[in-house]
Amino acid sequence: MAIVAAFAVPHPPLIIPAVGLGREHEIQSTVDAYEEVGRRIAALQPDTVVISSPHSIMYRDYLHVSPGAGARGSFAQFRAPQAAYECTYDQQFVAALEAACLADQLPAGTRGERTPQLDHGTMIPLHYIKNACEATGQPMPKVVRMGLSGLSPAEHYRMGMLVQRVASVLGKRVVFVASGDLSHKLLAEGPYGFAPEGPEFDQRVCRAFAEGDFLDLLCMDRGFAERAAECGLRSFQIMAGTLDRTNVRAELLSHEGPFGVGYGVAAFEPVGEEGSCEDRALLEAYEEWRRQDLAQRRAAEDELVSLARLSLETYVLSGGIRVSVDDLPDGRALPPELLQRRAGCFVSLKKDGELRGCIGTIAPTKASLAEEICANAVSAGRYDSRFEPVEAEELNDLVYDVDVLGDPEPIASEDELDVRKYGVIVSTRDGRRGLLLPDLDGVDSVREQVRIAAQKGGIDLFGDDYRLERFVVERHL
């Protein structure tokens, strides 16, 4: 057995005594469970502990693994510089993992390290592992540290599968630790406020932990997770991959959230021969679920969304031919309203729950809304400067939103905004303008909405003379 155990743990700095200064007892269940995790890891005497952390180096399209002989860090940012930790990296394991990622064409490895210091998402589990090893006279195992990314659940799961494979090839006893908090929106009086998705997210993850249902961790809607303001889901997805095709004994050791942030601790013990249980081949199960989900979404698209899809797919597959709304290639007839109405609109593309492109017009620039949708769909897929152009092989993976804008109206202050109901336009007399749509995942306050809109327009909210407008949208999914 190469992966001898896996654990999901949170990372509240409060449970480090030098940071908590006694307040750690306010989340005693988490402390007790963490100490149990430390004892179990020490008893297993692993050669290597692999830790995934949301606070390590993160890229949108690359899973980073820390290079070098080792690293150190402290809790100075939490006013406890005396709480310092260091670890020795397993360079052999890192080299083999990077080679495996290259061979399997998984965008992951040691390139692009910006800061080598250990992050608190890594140091907190190290604290409890170190304490347990010292108490039992066991040597501290070597460490592999990795971050998360904006890649798909499948890619994170594949990373875990490669950890499992490398551990097996090297003949090492490996423990995987998935560091990550649950929802940050459990309580209205908490530092991040409340969202109904918060408690639901924690319930689903805790149920998955208790039952060993890793498939639900892969299939969870990304927008739902963002509204819950979680930080550990992708860490747990990597962990699931380390136990691919392996039966597990799952145990939820604790869950609490007295400060409005969910802290869950869970343990997973492999049972039987590693990699032999086809019922736990979750990558294939996830891909099948994803194919069905995308097919259902496509079948449910209304005329506006279907037209956006047709426009981009025609442009990409034909090498640049644009759809004519008067002579659609599939012979369909558009509703008269789309041909007679003029309005600005935005077309957004998502892939695996992550934004893949978004372009729109505040006011109409074409003769009809239909033409507006077609033009903006092509622009979102091919000319959004934040992303590489959409390629043909991606087309079936895309989910489209079309937002039709109502007429903007001037407002006197942010008090007249509602982040769920109204979009906002921030503009200056010299022509700079930034817009943000309403009801976006991860944008939960008016202040945040205005800040992002101003940033998009290059507007300084503290130094520039600006004005605000609001608008409503018709959202088509």
Q: What is the DSSP string of 176-228?
A: EEEE----S-B-TTSTT-B-THHHHHHHHHHHHHHHT-HHHHHHS-HHHHHHH
Alpha-carbon distance of 269 to 247, in angstroms, equals: 8
pLDDT of res. 83? 97
CB 363 within 8 A of CB 471: no
Interval 194-237: pLDDT, tens:
999 999 999 999 999 999 999 999 999 999 999 999 999 999 99
| Span 384-396, average pLDDT | 96
According to the model, what pLDDT value does residue 275 have? 73
- In CATH, what number does 3-281 get? 3.40.830.10
Comparing 1 with 469, the larger pLDDT belongs to 469
Boundaries of every domain in the chain: 3-281, 294-476
Q: Does residue 396 carry a pLDDT above 90?
A: yes
Residue-level pLDDT at 327:
81
Which tens digit of pLDDT belongs to each residue from 16-66? 999 999 999 999 999 999 999 999 999 999 999 999 999 999 999 999 999
CA pair distance 164, 106, nearest whole angstrom: 15
Alpha-carbon distance of 475 to 477, in angstroms, equals 7
C-alpha–C-alpha distance, residues 224 and 448, integer Å: 19
Q: Which fold has domain 294-476?
A: Glycoprotein, Type 4 Pilin (3.30.700)
d(CA 380, CA 432): 21
Task: Name the pLDDT band for 184 (thresholds 50, 70, 90).
Answer: very high
Sheet holding 466-471, edge to edge: 409-411, 466-471, 423-428, 433-436
Residue 1 has pLDDT above 80, yes or no: no
Record the tokens describing residue 435, joined without a space.
């817009």
CA-CA-CA-CA torsion sign (448, 450, 456, 462): negative
Question: Of 174-178, 190-194, 315-319, 399-403, where does mean pLDDT reach its minimum?
Answer: 190-194
pTM of the model: 0.91
Q: Is the pLDDT of residue 243 over 90?
A: yes
Closest alpha carbon to 316 in 363, 338, 349 = 349
Residues 6+ apart with CB under 8 A from 431: none
- The answer to whether 257 touches 202, Cβ cutoff 8 Å, is yes
Of 318-322, 328-332, 349-353, the range with the lowest mean pLDDT is 328-332
Q: What percentage of the chain exceeds 70 in pLDDT?
A: 100
* Residue 97 pLDDT class (50, 70, 90 cuts): very high
Mean pLDDT, the chain, whole residue set: 95
